[in-house]
Amino acid sequence: MGVTHASKTPDTATIPCGGTFHVTLALTAEPDLVSKPIDVVLLLDRSGSMAGKPLESLKKAARTFVDILDEATDGVQDGQIGGGSRIGIVSFASTATADAPLMTSVQALRAAIDGLRDGGSTNHADAFSKGAALFDPASANARILVMFTDGVTTAGPPPAPIAEAAKTQGAVIYCIGLSGSGGLDEQALRDWASDPDDAYVAITPDDEDLEDLFAGLAENLSKPGATDIVIDETVTACFRILSADTPTKGAVTLTGDRSLQWKIAELGVRKSEGAELRFTVRHEGVCSGDLPINESITYLDHEGNHVDFGDPEIEVECGVDTLPEPCPTPVEIHIDGCEDSVEFDAGVLALESLGRILQLDVTLKNVCPNRRVALAVVLTEVDDKGDEHKRGLKTLVIPAHHRTGCRDVKVRCVKFVLPEELDVSGRSDGICDRRNFKARLFAHYIDSDFECCHP
C-alpha cells in the first residue's frame, strides 16, 4: 500500500514572542495490495449538518477513493476492485445503514454513495458496529475502517469502546474530520483512530479538501510499504530547532540550527505501521502573526511514495503594530568616480517642519477582531500662564486585525510638526527652548452591526 498518511502537527496554536512549542511528524505505511489484499469499509456521516455542499463534496471524495482502488488493484479502471480486495459502504445519521456490503463492483459502490441523503443526528457507535460487522472472520484480508464525520456524537452509546473492540479484532481505523462547522470533537477522532494518532487522523476545515484527503489515502493504500526513508525538515528563519526526541522508528540527526534529518530503514513492509518524531522549536526574531513553521520538508524512499506533510502555521503573539504614516521615500544620488563635484536636482519637497517633530505612540486596549478604529489626537501647547494653544488635530483609521479574540493594538509614529515660530514658552533659546504640550486622544469603532429599529 505504501505511505497511507503523513502529517506535521504543532502541539499548540499560539505562542508568545520567544516561546517554544513541539512539532510532531507522523507517517503510516501499509503492505502491498497485490500480495496482501484489503477489505475497506467507508463509514460516511450523512447527518443533518452535512446538508448541501459538504455532502456533495463527500460523495465526490468517496467516488474518487473507489475509482483509485479500482485501477490500483488490477492496473486498469475496469469497474471491478481486483486482487482480492473489496470495499463496503456504511452511512450513518441517527442510526447506521450498511449501504453496500464488501464487494468488488464499482458501479454498485458508486450507486450506494450517490444514494446518500442527509438528515438526523450523529451515531458514531452504530457506524463502527455495522462497519466492523461487514468483515468476514474467515477472510485473511487486512481490515480497514475509514471514519468520516463533521460533528460530535449526538445519538447512541459512546463510540470509543466499539472502535477499540474493532481494533482489538485486527481492524486499522483511519479518521477524517471536517471541522468547518465548528462542531467536530478532534480528540474523539484521535481516540478512535489507530496509534499513533497523528498518523491515522486527518482534519480539514474546508469540504473542498475532502477529495484530496480521500484520494491521498487511496493512492497510498495502493503502494507497497516504504523502505530507505529519508525526511529532511527545515523550519523558517523565525524559528530554531532546539532538540529532537528519539523517534518511534528510525534515527534523527540535527543538521543545523533550523534543520534535521529523519531516516527509517523500513515502514509498513509486513504489517500496518506508524512512526512519529517529536522535536522542540523556539521562536526567534521580531516576526509575529500567523507564521508558517516549515521553510521546506522533503520526503524520499525507495518505492517513490508521494508524501505531503502539509503547511501548518502557528500564531506568534508579539503585539500588533500599525504604521499609519510611512517614512519619506529617499532620493537616490549617484556620483561617478572621476567627478570632483556634482549638481543634482532633488525635485520638489513640501516642507513639513521648520522646527521639531513630536512623535506619539498609543496603545488601544482590547480591540476586537475585524473592526476598524477611528482615532483622533488633539495637540495643544501650554504657555507659562497655563493657557493652551492649538497645535494640531489628526484623525486616523486604524486597520482591523484578524486575530482570534480581542487584543491590544499599538499605534506607532503619530507625528506632529512643531514650527519654532509658534513657540509660546516665553524663552528665546531658539530650537533648544523647553516647550510644554498636552495631547487628548479619542477612539471608537468604525464598524458595527447596529441597525436602527424600523416601524
Sorted by where each begins, the domain ranges of the chain are 1-32+224-318, 33-222, 321-325+352-445
**Separation of alpha carbons 28 and 268, rounded Å:** 7
Distant-in-sequence, close-in-space partners of 42: CB < 8 Å, separation ≥ 6: 62, 65, 87, 88, 89, 90, 146, 148
Query: What pLDDT score was predicted for residue 258?
Result: 95
Q: Count CB atoms within 10 A of the CB of residue 396.
A: 15
CA dihedral 332, 337, 340, 343 (to 10 degrees): -20
**Separation of alpha carbons 42 and 56, rounded Å:** 16
**Separation of alpha carbons 166 and 258, rounded Å:** 41
Indicate the range of 3-12, 272-281, 320-329, 357-366 predicted with least confidence: 320-329
Q: In this predicted model, what pLDDT tens digit does every residue of 274-313 receive, in sequence order?
A: 899 999 999 987 788 889 999 999 999 987 888 888 889 9
Domain 33-222: which CATH class?
alpha beta
The residue behind cell 533550523 is 258
Query: What pLDDT score was predicted for residue 306?
Result: 80
**Separation of alpha carbons 353 and 418, rounded Å:** 7
How many alpha carbons fall within 13 Å on the CB side of residue 329? 5
Strands 38-45 and 142-149, by their bridges, are: parallel
Q: Identify the band that residue 269 occupies on the pLDDT scale cut at 50, 70 and 90.
A: confident
Q: In this predicted model, what pLDDT tens digit does every residue of 192-215 receive, in sequence order?
A: 999 877 778 888 888 888 998 898
- CB burial of 16-29 (b: ≥16 within 10 Å; e: otherwise) equals eeeeebebbbbbbb
Q: Count CB atoms within 10 A of the CB of residue 334.
A: 7
The answer to whether the CB of 225 falls within 8 A of the CB of 299 is no
Phi, psi of 61 (to 5 degrees): -65, -40
Amino acid 18 reads G
* CATH among 2.60.40.290, 2.40.160.20, 3.30.390.50, 3.20.20.70 for 1-32+224-318: 2.60.40.290
**What's the maximum distance between 2 C-alpha atoms anywhere in the chain?**
104
Q: Whole-number mean pLDDT of the chain?
A: 88
Of 444, 452, 441, nearest in space to 371 by CA: 444
Indicate the range of 14-28, 370-384, 416-430 predicted with least confidence: 416-430
The answer to whether the CB of 206 falls within 8 A of the CB of 176 is no
Query: What pLDDT score was predicted for residue 66?
Result: 92
